Chain A
């Protein structure tokens, strides 16, 4: 059974870059059986897809965030990462990593954008 765990700073200053890592256990991140993604949830609001990455390395991003987002994979560490640049208070949210198609999710990590 897959397990996913997010890690990274809980506080980021406006205009800086938010960086998070998702560590995967119980399966290989380079397996063709899975693909991976990041989702966020602002306080009191719904789920917003940020982007996904496939075993081939192909990436797909939410058009509304595409200019600021980079998702990458580190197969040696069985991790994938999110970078979101030029953050503002509107980027304050709980950030989740997840797997498809089976639908495993991490527990989420709250990132607050504030000076």
Chain B
């Protein structure tokens, strides 16, 4: 079964840049789109990146997504960190026609 692996947690200071990785267990992560979701405590997930690197309207350009085929990974990069960015982040892709989520990464901004 295809799996997506994320670091359990990351932390960084306000104003800095952080990158969260999402590594595919097999195949080519570049073969299917990757989405990234932000979930603040007590709230529903919201999409910050869709189709690898597209930002929904209203998502600041501090959020960016990329794919690295050499490491079979997707990455979410958040620059100019703000305390409001503190949340859980989930990557999501596909395995045939099934949807696969990563386990989530807790971002602490301190």
Contacts and interface: CB of A to CB of B under 8 A. Distances in A.
Interface of A: 37, 39, 46-49, 52, 60, 62-63, 96, 100-108
A23 B103 CA distance: 28
B10 to A, nearest CB: 16
A96 B101 CA distance: 14
A105 B46 contact: yes
B104 A46 contact: yes
Contacts of A46: 90, 101-104
Chain B interface, DSSP helix/strand/loop, else mixed = strand
B77 interface: no
A96 B102 CA distance: 17
The size bracket of the interface on B is 20 to 34
B36 to A, nearest CB: 9
Contact of B98 (A60, A96, A100): A60
B56 A105 contact: no
Contacts of A107: 44
B37 interface: yes
